[in-house]
């Protein structure tokens, strides 16, 4: 397996790369992570079963889309592929440092700069991708309230119902969500899509983000998720607001946007996330 990965790195970079040292890394709940090195070069490798290749390809495309924007640093993609029994994604290896207030401030400024580039007229993406292990549909739509209510909430609610965990009348909740967003007319921004603390790091040169699930949507959905699990430090929000202030009504929409992620966690992990989803639904949909 490792020889096959080394050969593909060699082909992509037009070098003769041989792995002289490798070490397993902690952190990923979905994939195995490795640090490999040789000939003075280092790489970060994600491994999973062969059938996970599509997820790695989607991650590659999201990382490349973010890199094209030049607003926030992401690891450079080296290659993606398969061995006899594994799928792999090879990325630039970035040594991470302790977080600092300045780093969070820079991240806020950079995310605001990314969100301020309204280059797309519609909501969605050129392909469906994954949020964690769950398929994330991204069919292009011109209406944000319909896109979010149908392809985010409705999709997750349907997945839950199909597994025997229905939490209410799906059509009714989708319609109520559409009504809650009806007067909100955001411009599409490129979103990271899965922006929580576990997908943020800091290097000597500044912040870096990982594991995106990109699409063009309401920027408030990215910002909302930063406060759901282990809220980002205040320096992040202050610097974001200074560059691109959030619209009026954000505090009311924040819980609706985060319901998507709670439902996704309920779909993947059950347990307390199911209870959290039910509680949020009670608050939002009377």
Task: Give catalytic residues, as residue numbers.
Answer: 194
Give which of 141, 131, 126, 139 is closest to 264, Cα–Cα.
Answer: 131
């Amino acid at each position: 397996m490792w020889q096959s990965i080394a050969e593909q790195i060699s082909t992509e970079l037009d070098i003769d790369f041989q792995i002289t040292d490798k070490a397993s890394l902690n952190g990923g709940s979905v994939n195995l992570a490795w640090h490999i090195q040789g000939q003075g070069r280092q790489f970060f490798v994600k491994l999973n079963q062969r059938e996970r290749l599509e997820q790695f390809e989607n991650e590659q495309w999201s990382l490349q889309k973010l890199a094209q924007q030049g607003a926030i640093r992401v690891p450079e993609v080296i290659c993606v592929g398969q061995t006899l029994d594994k799928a792999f994604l090879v990325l630039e290896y970035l040594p991470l440092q302790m977080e600092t207030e300045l780093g969070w401030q820079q991240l806020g400024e950079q995310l605001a700069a990314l969100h301020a580039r309204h280059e797309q007229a519609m909501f969605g993406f050129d392909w469906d991708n994954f949020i964690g292990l769950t398929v994330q549909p991204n069919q292009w739509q011109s209406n944000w309230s319909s896109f979010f209510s149908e392809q985010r909430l409705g999709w997750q609610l349907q997945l839950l119902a199909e597994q025997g965990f229905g939490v209410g009348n799906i059509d009714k909740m989708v319609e109520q969500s559409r009504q809650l967003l009806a007067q909100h007319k955001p411009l599409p921004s490129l979103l990271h899509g899965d922006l929580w603390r576990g997908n943020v790091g800091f290097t000597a040169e500044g912040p870096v983000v990982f594991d995106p699930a990109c699409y063009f949507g309401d920027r408030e959905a990215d910002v909302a998720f930063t406060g759901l699990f282990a809220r980002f430090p205040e320096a992040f929000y202050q610097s974001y607001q200074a560059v691109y202030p959030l619209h009026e009504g954000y505090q009311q929409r924040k819980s609706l946007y985060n319901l998507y992620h709670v439902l996704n966690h309920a779909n993947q992990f059950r347990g307390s996330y199911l209870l959290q989803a039910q509680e949020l639904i009670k608050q939002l949909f009377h």
